């Protein structure tokens, strides 16, 4: 006992109790919106407790009436017994319905809220988590909270009320019988402590392994083509089976303990029950109580044992709920993006939309969270009606620079500005709010599942069919879309399925143009196109009278001939290339 006290005192000193309290408070912020439903649920449960006790008394009376041959009262008592039994059934189903409805509402609300907050979390710290881990936290951990927390407090009140009322009745009639019925309590408390000490570690191990399995499955199904191409199917099947084996070992480890404890507790419960049964028979034999009273005692002893087990079993449940809350709080505790300047940026754009915008980077420093330095005192600028190219070897930071321009990554030094063309004094502070000024064509196939029109309207919901077709024409995509039976209503599969890489790139460019933002970023957006199509698309973009600032990253020198300026990323800086060097690159390319 002394060692057990020391263990829990150590856990408290380590901050576990404080941590659980903070997690409980966090959960309460969601649950408090449903306090009225929870109160109704609790009240119905308490009514059910009362009807159960009445049913127990009616059962006693019915047995006494039968054994004492009181025929005049048997029909009335039997009808009342059946009535209260049916009421108990209805209350039980009503509680299940209310619980299910509240759980669904809270589950949806927490998931929607956490979904939004995850998307608003700054990109770099979020990228330190595997997508499988994020999915596990968002789905499994939220469900653990919504399924458990709404029932926890009401069930605590209901079970405690059952326990106290049953104990009070037994003590009132026979204190000795109450002591016998409570003989299993010390054992139940001891077992609950054993479970408590192991539950937290089990939850963490299970959650971590589930996250790894989720990540593995997600990556596998996202990269089926690559897995097939490299003939990796046997390797991935073997890896999955190893994950399953590890999961089986983990479950086996804790299930063994659970089975042993359950068997032991069952034997204890049986010993207590049979002792109560024998004691009741003896009391009837000597004439101290009636058969009905013995039936009442046995029923209430079962209630005492059952509610006590339920109460002790709620401790591991609380551990599981708070552990899940802690995993979610880890994600939600990361720094969030600040969109407070959104309307100010919107007004800034309206003032300058006819002239266009200038993007300027001055003396910028940026390093990844692992300390890898990418840029030092870097300078860059792009103006309306310009195509500005970024060139350089892979891994030198071209995509990273575009992410910095999009405020997805935050530089550690220097200054980024967007100002009006010819109005350098009218500028806007750099923040995630400036993303409304950008259109972006990322590397790879980034089309969403749905139709061509739905993808276009993702960035401009009110777009007309004529506007969609016009953007497809500028991106040289209409030439293959118009040949399809459904035209712009043709389906696009996951990651652009149903279209070639080059076609998907042209659709991505059309989607970016649909947004009609003053600054267009294209990250290797024409890598899968032939040189002629590439020049036609960029030429179409620049023919547009809209004052667009266009920035492209490229490995292909063919595009440099139509660029107004070219920057090379070298030695962690952007260097503007002279015309002679550009011509030399084109000849060598």
| H or E element, residue 418 | strand 413-420
Tell me how many domains the chain contains: 2
Containing H/E element for 377?
strand 373-382
CA distance 99 to 102: 5
The set of residues, in sequence order, having a beta carbon less than 8 Å from that of 516 and lying 6+ positions away, is 439, 460, 546
Residues in the chain: 589
Count of beta carbons in the 10 Å neighbourhood of residue 18 = 11
Residue 461 within any structural domain of the chain: no
CA 408 – CA 312 distance, rounded (Å): 48
Burial string for 189-201 (b: 16+ CB within 10 Å, else e) reads: eebbeebbebbbe
Q: Both 263 and 303 in a single domain?
A: yes
Query: Are 95 and 48 a contacting pair, CB within 8 Å?
Result: yes
∠281-64-54 over CA atoms, to 5°? Answer: 100
In a shared domain, residues 212 and 319 = yes
- CA angle 402/432/355 to nearest 5° reads 75
pTM of the complete model: 0.71
Give exposure, 513-524, as e/b (b: 16+ Cβ within 10 Å).
bbbbbbbbbbbb
Q: What is the CATH number of the domain that holds 428?
A: 3.40.50.300
CB atoms within 10 A of CB 205: 15
Q: CA torsion, points 163, 165, 167, 169, in degrees to nearest 10? A: -160
In a domain, 407, yes or no: yes
For residue 540, count CB atoms less than 10 angstroms from its CB and return exposed for 0-12, middle for 13-18, buried for 19 or more: middle
Two tokens at 36? 């009225």
Same domain? For 107 and 231 the reply is: yes
* CB neighbour burial string for 129-148, b if at least 16 within 10 angstroms, e if fewer: bbebbbbbbbebbbebbbbb
Q: What is the pLDDT of residue 588?
A: 66
| pLDDT value of residue 472 | 92
Q: φ, ψ for residue 72 (rounded to 5)?
A: -70, -25
Question: What phi and psi values does residue 338 have, to the nearest 5 degrees?
Answer: -105, 110
Q: Contact 552/389 with Cβ under 8 angstroms?
A: yes
Sheet holding 373-382, edge to edge: 373-382, 357-367, 413-420, 423-428
Q: Which residues of 336-348 are buried (b: 16+ CB within 10 A; e: fewer)?
A: ebeeebeeebeeb
Give pLDDT, residue 304.
72
Which of 332, 366, 395 terminates a domain? The answer is 332
Whether residue 173 is found in the same domain as residue 316: yes
Q: Are 241 and 216 in contact (CB under 8 A)?
A: no
Question: For residue 469, what pLDDT is reported?
Answer: 92
Domain of residue 97 covers: 2-332
123 and 163: one domain?
A: yes
CATH number for the domain spanning 28: value is 1.20.1560.10
3-state secondary structure of 350: helix
Exposed e or buried b for every residue in 445-484, given b needs 16+ CB within 10 A?
Answer: bbbeeebbbebbbebeeebeeebbbbbbbbbbbbebbeee
Examine the domain organization and report whether 367 and 410 are in the same domain.
Answer: yes
Q: What is the DSSP string of 229-285?
A: HTT-HHHHHHHHHHHHHHHHHHHHHHHHHHHHHHHHHHHHHHHHHHHHHHHHHHHHH
Residue 100 CA: distances (Å) to CA of 37, 68, 143, 213, 322: 12, 46, 12, 29, 21
Domain stop point among 332, 354, 375: 332
Q: What pLDDT shows up at residue 12?
A: 46
Contact 569, 376 (CB under 8 A): no
**Domain-located, residue 457:** no
Full pLDDT tens readout for the chain, 589 residues:
445 445 444 544 445 567 777 777 787 777 777 777 778 878 887 888 888 888 877 777 777 777 776 666 777 777 887 888 888 888 888 877 877 777 787 788 888 888 888 888 888 888 778 777 788 888 888 888 877 766 777 888 888 888 888 778 777 777 776 676 666 556 555 555 555 555 555 666 776 777 777 777 777 776 776 677 667 788 888 888 888 888 888 777 766 766 666 666 667 666 766 676 677 677 777 777 777 777 777 777 777 777 777 776 676 677 778 888 888 888 888 888 888 888 999 999 999 988 889 999 999 999 887 778 888 889 999 999 888 988 887 777 888 899 999 988 889 888 899 988 888 788 888 889 999 999 998 887 778 888 999 989 988 889 899 999 999 999 999 999 999 899 999 998 877 778 888 888 899 999 999 988 899 998 887 777 887 888 888 888 877 778 889 999 887 777 777 788 889 888 888 888 888 887 777 666 5
Say how far residue 101 (Cα) sits from the centre of its chain: 20
Domain end position, chosen among 267, 300, 332: 332
Domain annotation covers residue 49:
yes
- State whether 171 and 235 are in the same domain: yes
Residues 6+ apart with CB under 8 A from 5: none
Q: Calculate the CA dihedral of residues 143, 145, 146, 149 and round it to 10 degrees.
A: 150
One domain for residues 22 and 111 = yes
In this structure, are 365 and 441 located in the same domain? yes
Q: State how far the Cα of 410 lies from the Cα of 418, in Å rounded to an integer.
A: 15
- CA pair distance 117, 63, nearest whole angstrom: 61
Q: Does a structural domain hold residue 569?
A: yes
Q: In the structure encoding, which two tokens stand for residue 106, read together?
A: 């809270």
Cα→Cα distances 184→163, 285, 309, 426, Å: 14, 25, 10, 78
Which residues, in sequence order, are bridge partners of residue 375?
366
Instruction: Judge whether 384 lies within some domain.
Output: yes
End-to-end CA distance of the chain: 79
Same domain, 358 and 310: no
Same domain, yes or no: 415 and 275? no
- Asked if 22 and 98 sit in the same domain, the reply is yes
For residue 200, the model assigns a pLDDT of: 53
């Amino acid at each position: 006992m002394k060692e057990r006290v020391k263990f829990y005192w150590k856990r408290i000193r380590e901050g576990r109790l404080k941590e659980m309290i903070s997690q409980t408070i966090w959960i309460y912020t969601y649950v408090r919106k449903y306090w009225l439903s929870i109160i109704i649920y609790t009240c119905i449960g308490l009514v059910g407790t009362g009807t159960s006790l009445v049913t127990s008394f009616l059962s006693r009376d019915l047995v006494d009436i039968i054994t004492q041959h009181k025929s005049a009262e048997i029909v009335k008592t039997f009808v009342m017994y059946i009535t209260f039994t049916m009421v108990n059934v209805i209350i039980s189903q009503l509680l299940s319905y209310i619980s299910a409805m509240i759980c669904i509402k809270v589950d949806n609300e927490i998931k929607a809220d956490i979904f939004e907050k995850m998307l608003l979390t700054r990109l770099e710290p979020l990228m330190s988590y595997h997508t499988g881990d994020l999915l596990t936290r968002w789905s499994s951990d939220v469900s653990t909270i919504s399924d458990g927390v709404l029932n926890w407090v009401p069930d605590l009140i209901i079970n405690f009320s059952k326990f106290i009322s049953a104990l009070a009745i037994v003590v009132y009639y026979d204190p000795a019988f109450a002591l016998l019925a409570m003989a299993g309590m010390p054992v139940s408390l001891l077992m609950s402590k054993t479970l408590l000490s192991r539950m937290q570690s089990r939850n963490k191990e299970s959650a971590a392994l589930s996250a790894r399995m989720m990540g593995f499955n997600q990556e596998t199904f996202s990269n089926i083509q690559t897995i097939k191409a490299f003939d990796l199917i046997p390797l991935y099947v073997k890896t999955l089976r190893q994950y399953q084996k590890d999961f089986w070992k983990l479950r086996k480890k804790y299930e063994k303990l659970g089975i042993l404890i359950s068997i032991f507790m069952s034997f204890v419960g049986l010993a207590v029950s049979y002792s109560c049964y024998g004691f009741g028979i003896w009391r009837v034999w000597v004439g101290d109580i009636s058969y009905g009273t013995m039936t009442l005692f046995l029923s209430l002893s079962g209630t005492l044992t059952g509610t006590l087990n339920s109460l002790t079993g709620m401790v591991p449940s609380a551990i599981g709920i708070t552990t899940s809350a802690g995993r979610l709080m880890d994600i939600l505790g990361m720094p969030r993006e600040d969109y407070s300047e959104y309307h100010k940026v919107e007004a800034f754009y309206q003032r300058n939309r006819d002239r266009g915008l200038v993007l300027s980077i001055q003396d910028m420093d940026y390093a990844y969270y692992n300390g890898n330095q990418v840029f030092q005192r870097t300078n860059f600028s792009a103006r309306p009606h310009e195509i500005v190219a970024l060139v350089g070897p892979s891994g030198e930071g071209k995509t990273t620079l575009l992410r910095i321009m999009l405020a997805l990554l935050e530089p550690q030094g220097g200054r980024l500005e967007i100002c009006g063309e010819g109005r350098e004094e009218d500028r806007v502070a750099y923040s995630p709010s400036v993303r409304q000024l950008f259109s972006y064509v990322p590397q790879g196939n980034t089309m969403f599942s749905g139709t061509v029109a739905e993808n276009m309207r993702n960035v401009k919901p009110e777009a007309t069919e004529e506007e969609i077709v016009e953007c497809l024409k500028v991106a040289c995509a209409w030439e293959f879309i118009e040949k399809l039976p459904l035209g712009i209503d043709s389906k696009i599969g996951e990651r652009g399925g149903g279209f070639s890489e080059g076609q998907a790139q042209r659709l991505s460019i059309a989607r970016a143009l649909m947004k009609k933002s003053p600054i267009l970023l294209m990250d290797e957006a024409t890598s899968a196109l032939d040189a002629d199509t590439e020049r036609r698309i960029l030429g179409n973009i620049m023919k547009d009278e809209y004052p667009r600032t266009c920035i492209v990253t490229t490995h292909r020198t063919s595009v440099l001939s139509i660029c107004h300026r070219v920057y090379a990323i070298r030695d962690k800086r952007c260097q503007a290339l002279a015309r002679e060097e550009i011509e030399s690159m084109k000849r060598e390319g």
